[in-house]
Amino acid sequence: MSDWGQGSPGDEFEKKVVEIGKHLKNNFRPKKELLIVIVLLVLGFGVFNSFYEVDTEETGVLLRLGKFAGYTEPGLHFKLPFGIDQVYLVKTGRVLKAEFGFRTVNPGVRTTYTKRGLEEEALTLTGDLNVSDVEWIVQYQVADPFKYVFRIKDPVETIRDLSEAMVRRVIGNSNVSAVLTTERAQLATEIQKDLQKILNDYDIGVRIVTVKFQDVTPPDQVKAAFNEVNEAEQQKESLIFQAREQFNREVPKARGTAKRTLQEAEGYAVERINKARGETDRFLALLTEYHKAPEVTRRRIYLETLEEVLPRLKEIYIMDGDGTGALPLLPLRAETKGGGK
């Protein structure tokens, strides 16, 4: 049994039958009873080796006389015995996972991991010649069982080697701050695309589901400094967010105030223009009437002006034009409140 599938069941039984046959051949003479035993053993082996079961998460790859004959779905199936048909079971319904820089010890609700002996696997050099400890996982699924089994000798190790090469190449072209802080998801997406492209070129029937950085940390010697850098980056992002929030609050308010001021100015301008046009039209109409009857128009204007001005005055004095002046003792002003005159 290998990592990616298993051969036909009954191989051990077949070996035992061959050994028994050789033993009988070497120690007994051919007899009728012996022939019957051999035939029964062969028939029993054939019946036992003619059935196989495919699990719900598996797909069977059927070979007949060494040539591909098709796939078998989950369930109990019949095949030709004595090595004529061979079946390889491949887990196509399960998402497989490759871990780098750590290993899962006990999966479950509280999964436990170990990093012992995997320090070199996690150690990665960045583009600015800094070192970081990178732990990541690659999840993949078998899309073509035949290619997965027969295109390459060891597909699991091939996927691991290619994944590690892609991660080290992409991280090696990036600076350490991008790897540790803001661009981690973008780098994982780039690795996934590049890895899928290479696997398609290899044509081994594998589809990459996801590439995810589990943990990216600086080495212990410089971890404190990198934590400070990370905190500074987070503080910068927070300040940028606050500035954008204030910008979105103040700028629309200022634009609204400016728009209202412009509308008020435009309304005032229209009002002044209309008023000026009205005064002009009134003056031109008055001028026309003046040309028709100058004396009458002049007197009418004089009287209309007095009607408008006189009600605003508190005291009115009418003087005789031929007189010399008011009498000195004549009280010309009425007493006002407070004794003023």
- What does the alpha-carbon distance between residue 220 and residue 226 come to, in Å, rounded to a whole number? 10
User: Residue 243's pLDDT is what?
Assistant: 93
Q: What is the pLDDT of residue 285?
A: 86
Look up residue 134 and give its two tokens. 């990178």
**pLDDT higher than 90, residue 6:** no
Question: pLDDT per residue over 35-51, tens digit each?
Answer: 776 767 766 666 666 78
What would the pLDDT profile of 291-306 be if each residue is shown by its tens digit? 888 888 888 888 888 8
Apex 170 CA angle, 168 and 175, nearest 5: 100
Q: pLDDT band for position 234 (50/70/90)?
A: confident
Does this model's pTM top 0.75?
no
Whether residue 153 contacts residue 107, with contact meaning beta carbons closer than 8 Å, is answered with: no
Of 10-14, 156-160, 311-315, the range with the lowest mean pLDDT is 10-14
Q: In the prediction, which pLDDT does 178 show?
A: 77
Determine what percent of the chain is predicted with pLDDT higher than 90. Answer: 28
pLDDT at residue 122 tops 50: yes
Average pLDDT over residues 169-180: 83
> 188: part of which helix (H) or strand (E)?
helix 184-202
Encoding tokens for residue 104?
A: 């899962």
